[in-house]
Amino acid sequence: MLARELRALGAEEVSLLNRAVSFRGDSRMLYRANLWCRSALSILQEVKAFRFDSRESYYDQLRQIAWHQLFAHDKTIAVQALAHRSEVFDNTLFMAQLTKDAIVDHFRETSGGRPSVDIQNPQVRINAYVLDDRCVVSLDSSGDPLFKRGYRKDAGSAPINEVLAAGLIMLSEWDMLSPFLDPMCGSGTFSVEAAMMSTSMAPALGRKSFGFSHWKDFDPGLLQAEQSDARQKQGPVRARILASDVSGYMLDVTRQNVMAAGLSGSIRVQRNDFFALYPREESGWVLLNPPYGQRQTQAETMTFYTELGQTLKHRFAGFRACFITAQLDSVKHVGLKPRRKIPVFNGPLKCIFAIYDLFEGKRKEHLETKRRRRIGDPPDKKEG
């Protein structure tokens, strides 16, 4: 999904990596990616890649990087260090400390000052990633993670973050025009992300600052031009979006988040029990983030997903229905054959995102009707 987004934005040499995507582009592309990417957690700009065989070698090569040309010594910094299959580093905390020491020592030698460390709210974030004997050092151009859109004032007790929500909507292949139902809305993240897509709203347009705004090569005029272009592309929400929940408290939270996103009047918020809901529309998309039921018994879980499947089958024929669950065996209790089952992570939780095409009658008859439509057979033609 992210690679597709980046190509649409004009990125070059887009390549899929392990849980990441690499691409090439200029400063305009960097700013644009931060403004528009819905499924990226952060955009890292590579500073240097090098090989090392000892802690001394690692420190020396980091210290030689021209950090003073990248940001000023009066900026606050934080280092995130990750190491896999490394014979040199078995403690990432020590690796982060050594990385910080190399950067600070470089500034002392070149400018006489040094950046201070601020773990909570740094102006410049440095990322050091080691695999075997190779290190890639990057600056985090985003600053705060990009799932922090700024609209979610309260997430409730079982949140799904904005990046994951947007990615799941894209995986569902919603066309941004058909009705979109979010009947277990919680804090309304699915609904807000769907509305932002339908209105062509850049998800980070409301951000006050990015990581790159503290770099020496930051171009405020270029960022303002990209922000102005994004505002011009925004239009009205083109789809009917319904956020509903059985909890009155969570609906109040949803209304606050919808208002904070600037989408008041674009999302209908109402109290409904999903299992008693009858949709007005004959077709559309329905996305669900059911309670994961970690405190439920196996029998309660089975009953819940059986009722979920029955409700979808008998009341949502004509819809595409999708749900995410951390209970990996729950799909077999739904009683419907999924179109796709996609493994995803909600934070540390391994989940399944199940997608269903719902229809009336038997599946075999539905598939036969689709086959006839595809090849152009008349509806009453008999098979020989």
Rounded Cα distance, 173 and 194, in Å: 12
Q: What is the pLDDT along the chain (384 residues), one digit of tens a residue?
A: 999 999 999 999 999 998 899 999 999 999 999 999 999 999 999 999 999 999 999 999 999 999 999 999 999 999 999 999 999 999 999 999 999 999 999 999 998 899 999 999 999 999 999 999 999 999 999 999 999 999 987 766 557 899 999 999 999 999 999 999 999 999 999 999 999 999 999 999 989 899 999 999 999 999 999 999 999 999 999 999 999 999 999 999 999 999 999 999 999 999 999 999 999 999 999 999 998 655 567 788 899 999 999 999 999 999 999 999 999 888 999 999 999 999 999 988 999 999 999 987 655 454 444 444 445 555 444 443
Q: Are residues 102 and 175 in the same domain?
A: no
Enter the tokens of residue 213.
């705004």
Q: Are residues 96 and 172 in the same domain?
A: no
> By C-alpha distance, which of 282, 284, 290, 281 is closest to 309?
290
Is 284 inside any structural domain? yes
Give the pLDDT of residue 382.
40
Rounded Cα distance, 77 and 125, in Å: 6
Is 324 inside any structural domain? yes
Q: Which residue has the tokens 């819809």?
A: 319
Q: Which residue has the tokens 């030689």?
A: 64
Q: What is the phi/psi pair of residue 204, to 5°?
A: -105, 20
Is 152 inside any structural domain? no
Dihedral angle, C-alpha 374, 375, 377, 379, nearest 10 °? -20
Range of the domain at 53: 2-140
Q: Are residues 183 and 301 in the same domain?
A: yes
Q: Are residues 199 and 326 in the same domain?
A: yes
Q: Are residues 314 and 171 in the same domain?
A: yes
Summary count for the chain: helices (H), strands (E):
10, 14
Rounded Cα distance, 119 and 78, in Å: 5
> By C-alpha distance, which of 238, 288, 234 is closest to 267?
238
Is 150 inside any structural domain? no
- Asked if residues 165 and 257 have their Cβ atoms less than 8 Å apart, the reply is no
Give the pLDDT of residue 373.
45
Rounded Cα distance, 54 and 57, in Å: 5
Is 370 inside any structural domain? no
Q: Residue 382 gets which letter from DSSP?
A: P
Q: Which residue has the tokens 């086959």?
A: 371
Is 25 inside any structural domain? yes
DSSP reduced 3-state for 362: coil
Give the pLDDT of residue 259.
95
Rounded Cα distance, 81 and 96, in Å: 5
Is 151 inside any structural domain? no
DSSP reduced 3-state for 284: strand
Rounded Cα distance, 294 and 301, in Å: 9
Left, alpha or beta for 191 (phi > 0: left; psi -120 to 50: alpha)? Answer: alpha
Rounded Cα distance, 243 and 289, in Å: 12
CATH number at residue 311: 3.40.50.150
CATH number at residue 120: 3.30.2130.30
Rounded Cα distance, 360 and 278, in Å: 15
Domain count of the fold of the chain: 2
Q: Are residues 37 and 129 in the same domain?
A: yes
Give the pLDDT of residue 253.
95
Q: How far, in Å, are 83, 84, 140, 320 from residue 128 at the CA level?
A: 8, 12, 10, 42
Q: Are residues 185 and 39 in the same domain?
A: no
| Bridge partner list, 128 | 81, 137
